[in-house]
Amino acid sequence: MSLWFVSAAVLPEMLAEVDIPSVRQAALSSGVQGGFVCGALLSAWFGLADRVDPRRLFAIAAVAAGLVNALLLVLPPGGAASIGCRVATGALLACVYPVGMKIAIGWGQRDRGFLVGLLIGALTLGSAAPHLLAFAGHTNWRLTVLVASMASVIAGVLVVAVRLGPYHVRSPRFDPAVIVTAWTNKRVRLAYAGYFGHMWELYAMWAWLLAYTRAAFEAQAIGTAAIASLSTFFVVASGILGCLLGGYLSDRIGRTATTAGMMIVSGSCALLMGFLFTGPLWLFMLVAIVWGISVVGDSAQFSAAVTELADRRFVGTALSVQLGAGFALTVLAIWLTPRFADLIGGWRWAFLLLVPGPLLGASAMLWLRNLPESVNMAGGLR
């Protein structure tokens, strides 16, 4: 997953080398999201995770994604071909993340929330990794691209040795007719709404946090570009703690309480960032780290909730719809955030655009908590 935000991590160094229009800058990041949506839906439609051993599918996709990402080393930065590579990388990662989740949940039932939380924690560390690589490589953005590509290839080789768990099951083939049922089923619809609010915030925050941090450090007259990359790594990587905490709490106090609480905290942090833009530095970083923890801590629990609320015959389709629509929404959020920053005259208040997402998502999950059917989640803990 270190391939996901490679372009965001190295974009400042790319811009120092060549002028890239703002539309193409956004496309380098949002292209991965768009490719992921298409890849996830196609994988589900053809039932690839059932026709191909999920470990082999994961391995092939991870190796191929690493090789495609490596093409950025020889293509013009920010060109149409580079953007195309990012779209293709996203499509291949659709056979890594969801397939990895399928493998993970095959190892448990009562602690499913925690297991999926571990997987999202790994995804979070992978998403943060390019910023650490950018810090290490400093001005050499090609080194960051190369190391991230190699990491994906190595991961593809390692996963072949993974065993499938005792609860691993085959998913039914994608049934488009179930989409209507998913939207008309109130409890599933509310779980979707919570997830969409969460996704509106998450990937736009991850994609543009480096640009925001660099602007804040400049306003505070401290640090360097490399320090901004390192700070961004720690903020995004702190989400691992949130994933573990979210999984633990979700299995003990319920999915709705955990997700609503996390979104209220993360939405509050998004609001506070603008007030702390000019310092003090310690408080700016403290709120940023709390945001990094809370913004992804609930992510896995929406998928866990859908597996418990949807018709068991069509859980695979319900999850495909959730992931596809959620990641499609992130394309819009990533694309709009820098334009909103330009519109209001800078990055300081740009993250206000993200605040409505978690607040509306928290409202949906609290509404779901009051439905009788919510007892199907987390062993009756709602």
Structure token digits, residue 45: 């439609």
Question: What is the C-alpha to C-alpha distance for residues 255 and 302, in angstroms, rounded to an integer?
Answer: 8
Q: Which amino acid is at 200?
A: W
pLDDT means per 10 residues, the chain with 382 residues, are 88 85 82 89 76 87 96 90 94 88 77 76 89 81 93 94 79 65 79 94 93 93 84 93 87 89 96 94 96 92 81 69 86 91 94 96 92 75 74
What pLDDT shows up at residue 312? 67
Q: Is the peptide bond before 130 cis (omega within 30 degrees of 0)?
A: no
Measured CA distances, 268 to 82, 124, 233, 264, 282 (Å): 36, 21, 21, 6, 18
- DSSP symbol at 170: P
**Where does 6-162+174-380 sit in CATH, by number?**
1.20.1250.20
What pLDDT shows up at residue 84? 94
Q: To which residue do tokens 């049934």 refer?
A: 175
Q: Which amino acid is at 376?
A: N
Question: What is the C-alpha to C-alpha distance for residues 243 and 239, in angstroms, rounded to an integer?
Answer: 6
Q: 47 with 171: CB under 8 angstroms?
A: yes
126: left (phi over 0), alpha (psi -120 to 50) or beta: alpha
What pLDDT shows up at residue 179? 67
What pLDDT shows up at residue 381? 74
Question: What is the C-alpha to C-alpha distance for residues 134 and 319, in angstroms, rounded to an integer?
Answer: 34
Which pTM does this prediction carry?
A: 0.84
Q: How far is CA 182 from the centre of its chain?
A: 22
Dihedral over alpha carbons 128, 15, 329, 308 (to 10 degrees): -10
Question: What is the C-alpha to C-alpha distance for residues 158 and 150, in angstroms, rounded to an integer?
Answer: 12
Q: How far is CA 311 from the centre of its chain?
A: 26
Listed in sequence order, the residues at least 6 apart from 118 whose beta carbon sits closer than 8 Å to its beta carbon are: 104, 243, 244, 247
Per-state percent for the chain, helix, strand, coil, to nearest 5? 80, 0, 20
What pLDDT shows up at residue 321? 78
Q: To which residue do tokens 């002028």 refer?
A: 19
Q: Which amino acid is at 97?
A: Y
